[in-house]
Amino acid sequence: MSTANGNAEMKSWEEHTWDGKRYDEVTGPKQTTGSMTVAYTGDLEGTGEQRFLMDYPDDSSCRSVGIEVVTGTLGGRSGTFVLEHSGGFRDGVARGTFTVVSASGELAGLTGSGTITWQMGEPGGYAFDYELA
């Protein structure tokens, strides 16, 4: 098993309620859907495109699930892989876990899981334990 560590910088973020309002225009409990683009640096060099669903019990916290397609280089190999995310946001920090669900190119056979943490307004950090076939 190998471990990849590095930064995750959010490049774009779109989030709306089911009826199309911006997530921050609606107060109180709500559900949203959205997308984000991430630039990964460090042991993983690449770009991720994520789609997610979020459930807010209040204005200061939420739970989320998502699917991300990452294209880049990991362990000296290039390709694309899909991550399944689960996490949440509380006290200005987003924390989540992810698991590889598929991979292609030179990364075919990739397995693994990891964590990602983002302090509001700062680049995130990831730790990814993986195996390449």
Residue by residue, pLDDT tens for the chain (133 residues) are: 999 999 999 999 999 999 999 988 999 999 999 999 999 999 999 999 999 999 999 988 999 999 999 999 999 999 999 999 999 999 989 999 999 999 999 999 999 999 999 988 888 999 999 999 8
pTM of the predicted model as reported, rounded to 2 decimal places: 0.93
- As given in the structure block, the two tokens for residue 97 are 């876990």
CATH 2.40.350.10, domain 2-132, yes or no: yes
Residue 73 identity = T
Closest to 74 in 3D by CA, of 48, 37, 35: 48
Task: Determine the pLDDT at residue 120.
Answer: 83
Task: Determine the pLDDT at residue 59.
Answer: 87
SS3 track for 73-89: EECCEEEEEEEEEEEEE
Query: Which residue ranges make up each domain of the chain?
Result: 2-132
